[in-house]
């Protein structure tokens, strides 16, 4: 592969990531503005402000990296990405009507999409020997993983709050849900560690 082909490939991935983040940020901005007008759910609004801060920083860094590679980030978001995210959002809208909890569920879907995009970007950049882009993607992936885990922490309480607003009697079980989330992630982390040790050791004699 020529240097030009490598640069083109990397620039395409970077501009796609920039477009995806810009697309999602518009929805998060609207969500934050709406919640700010209500003056309620302070913790949820604080989470949205953190999403905005982090993702705006990502957008800036991606644009700068694309510029360094000679590309531009004004390209429109690809139709396929728009179709996929729209289809997922439409399905979720049909499943759950509660406003704030549903919005954060859609944020979770969006952030997961961003995370896998960064995973692909990191893999591509590493494979093509671009350490600067790989480092950018690693930081992006780490940041987004933290935001997803933040939603894990606050979503149970939001769901219970909205159930109570519908005059449904529910107990204070959000802590049980958070324990369930931690247990699942800890279990998977342990399994991943075991697989890593086996890989490092090589096949048994």
- pLDDT 10s digits, 63-96: 999 999 987 765 454 444 544 455 444 444 444 4
- Is there a contact between 61 and 136 (Cβ–Cβ < 8 Å)? yes
Cα–Cα distance, 127 to 124 (Å, whole number): 5
**Which residues neighbour 67 within 8 Å (Cβ) at sequence distance 6 or greater?**
73
What does CATH list as the number for 3-156? 1.20.1260.10
Q: What is the pTM for the complete model shown?
A: 0.78
Cα–Cα distance, 77 to 170 (Å, whole number): 42
Percent over 70 (pLDDT), the chain: 75
Cα–Cα distance, 10 to 7 (Å, whole number): 5
Coil, helix or strand at residue 66: helix
**Which residues neighbour 77 within 8 Å (Cβ) at sequence distance 6 or greater?**
16, 19, 20, 22, 23
What confidence tens digit (pLDDT) does each residue in 2-41 have?
778 899 999 999 999 999 999 999 999 999 998 898 877 8
Structure tokens at 54: 């982090």
Cα–Cα distance, 171 to 178 (Å, whole number): 14
Tokens 């759910």 appear where? 41
What confidence tens digit (pLDDT) does each residue in 114-130 have?
999 999 999 999 999 99
């Amino acid at each position: 592969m020529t240097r030009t082909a490598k640069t083109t490939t990397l620039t395409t991935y970077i501009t796609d990531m920039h477009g995806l983040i810009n697309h999602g940020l518009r929805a998060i901005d609207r969500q934050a503005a709406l919640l700010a007008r209500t003056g309620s759910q302070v913790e949820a609004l604080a989470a949205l402000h953190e999403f905005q801060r982090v993702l705006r920083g990502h957008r800036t860094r991606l644009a700068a990296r694309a510029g360094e590679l000679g590309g531009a980030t004004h390209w429109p978001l690809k139709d396929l990405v728009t179709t996929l995210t729209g289809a997922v959002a439409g399905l979720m809208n049909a499943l759950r009507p509660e406003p704030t909890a549903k919005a954060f569920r859609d944020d979770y879907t969006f952030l997961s999409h961003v995370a896998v995009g960064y995973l692909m970007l990191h893999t591509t950049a590493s494979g093509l020997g671009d350490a600067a882009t790989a480092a950018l993607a690693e930081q992006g992936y780490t940041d987004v993983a933290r935001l997803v885990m933040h939603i894990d922490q606050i979503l149970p309480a939001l769901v219970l709050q909205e159930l109570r607003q519908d005059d449904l009697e529910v107990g204070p079980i959000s802590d049980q849900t958070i324990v369930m989330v931690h247990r699942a992630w800890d279990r998977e982390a342990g399994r991943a560690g075991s697989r890593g040790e086996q890989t490092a050791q090589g096949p048994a004699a």
